Amino acid sequence: MNEVRFVPLIEGRLDPEAERRVPIFILALTHPTRVVRLDPEFAKRDDHLGRAQALVRAHHERYLKSGPHAGLPIVGYRYFPAPDWGFELGVDGALLGTFQGRPIEAGFSLAGGEPLRFVLPHEG
C-alpha cells in the first residue's frame, strides 16, 4: 500500500462560473498555479494562521499579474493545516470561517484508465 503523507497547503478557490465553463483538463493543468504547498511543519507553529493569511495576500497579488492563468478568477482561499478541515480566507487574507473538506486533486484518468496527476510546486 502506498501511503501519502499530508502536507499543509493553501488552495485558491475559483469563481464557480469559471469552473463551470472551463474544460476540466484546463482546470487540472492550471491548478498548481492556484496552490501554495507549505512546509510539513508549517501548521505546528503558533503563528501559522497569520502566516497563511500573509501568504494568501502575496499569492493573490502575484496571481493577478501572472498572465493567462489570471483569466480564471480566484474568489477566495482554503488553508488546509490538516487533510480534512481548514480555514476559509478571502483574497485579502481575511479569516472568513472554518470548513470541513479535502483539497482538490489535480489530475484525471487517460482513456486507458491510467491516472495522470500533476505535482504541485512548493511555494513558501
Among 64, 61, 60, 66, CA closest to 79: 60
pLDDT in tens, 91-122: 999 999 999 988 876 555 566 766 655 544 43
On whether the pTM is more than 0.85, the answer is: no
- Residue 86 counted as domain residue: yes
Task: Kindly state the cell numbers that stand for 123.
Answer: 511555494
Residue-number span of the structural domain to which 69 is assigned: 9-103
**Which tens digits make up the pLDDT trace of 21-46?**
888 778 877 888 899 999 999 999 99
- Give a yes or no: residue 90 inside a domain: yes
Domain-embedded: residue 15: yes
Q: State the total domains in the chain.
A: 1
Domain annotation covers residue 71: yes
Pairwise CA distance, residues 75 & 66, whole Å: 16
Does residue 117 belong to any structural domain of this protein? no
